Amino acid sequence: MNIALIGLPGSGKSTVGRQLARRLQLPFVDADQWVERQLGCSIREYFEREGEVGFRDFEQQALADIAATGPAVIATGGGAVLREANRACLREHTRVFYLFATPEEVYRRLRHDQVRPLLQVADPQTRLRELFSQRDPLYRETAHEVITIGRPSTAALVNTIAEIVQRQGG
């Protein structure tokens, strides 16, 4: 069974995903890293060169390919839910967990991050609020389960998700 983690950039998808994969003895796939390997350049470079539509086309095919290869734990890109085809693919081919975090929680976690393009703007908190208002309904539409990250440790989040998966016969 494929398990997909969705949520805002910085909500912990890759960190939780790696540990969850280890716990469930499944391969881990970071969709953004997978896309960059296929592209041969960073997502940021490709986005600048081909635009958002070009990137989202590539991302859509990548998610379909990743979902078809399972079982695995998949950390999606934060914007993967923007396309209906991706939402349908994830719901149909994976057990989707939305790692819910408020924009304020994400900002608190990432305020010192100098790498994420998302935060290299004049007002990163406002940017996170905009992303949240646009994407939260899509994350909720896609998710089979919503996990509030709040302040629990990564280990506690992994345990919660693993218990749900095991209870549902995963």
Confidence of residue 51 (pLDDT cuts 50, 70, 90): confident
CATH of the domain at 63: 3.40.50.300
Residue stretches of the annotated binding site for Mg(2+): 14
Q: pTM of this prediction?
A: 0.92
| Beta strands per DSSP E along 9-165 | 28-30, 73-75, 95-100, 145-148
117 lies in a domain? yes
Sign of CA dihedral 121, 126, 130, 133: positive
108 located within any domain: yes
Which residues belong to the annotated binding site? Answer: 10-15, 32, 56, 78, 116, 135
- Residue 169 in domain: no
Domain region containing 147:
3-164
| Nearest-5° Cα angle at 125, 122 to 130 | 100
β-strands 3-6, 73-75 pairing: parallel
- How confident is the model over 17-50, as pLDDT tens digits? 999 999 999 999 999 999 999 999 988 888 888 8
Total domains present in the chain: 1
